[in-house]
Amino acid sequence: MTNLQNYWKRNVRYLLILLSIWFIVSYGFGVLFADTLNSIQLGGFKLGFWFAQQGSIYVFVILIFVYVWLMNKLDKEFDVDEK
């Protein structure tokens, strides 16, 4: 495999992992496991409700920063970073 193929393979793997985390948090915690999580309170709100309304958005923003950090590291490793 060429260097760029390895680069894109790793990039796609990062995307799949991060999107899976987002799916689990937004759909899993906000919909599927909401009834179970609602037994826990966070700031006066049920945790399932909080994940459905706020938590998935916060996690998505954090995942954006994680992706930027991972890609900057990957770009430097494969010498395709902006100089």
3-class DSSP string for 11-41: HHHHHHHHHHHHHHHHHHHHHHCHHHHCCCE
Predicted local confidence at residue 44, as pLDDT = 87
Please give the model's pTM, rounded to 2 decimal places.
0.83
Predicted local confidence at residue 52, as pLDDT = 85
Predicted local confidence at residue 15, as pLDDT = 97
Predicted local confidence at residue 18, as pLDDT = 97
Token representation of residue 5: 């193929």
pLDDT (tens digit, 0 to 9) for every residue of the chain, 83 residues total? 688 899 999 999 999 999 999 999 988 888 888 889 899 997 888 888 888 888 889 999 999 999 999 999 999 999 888 87
3-state secondary structure of 42: strand
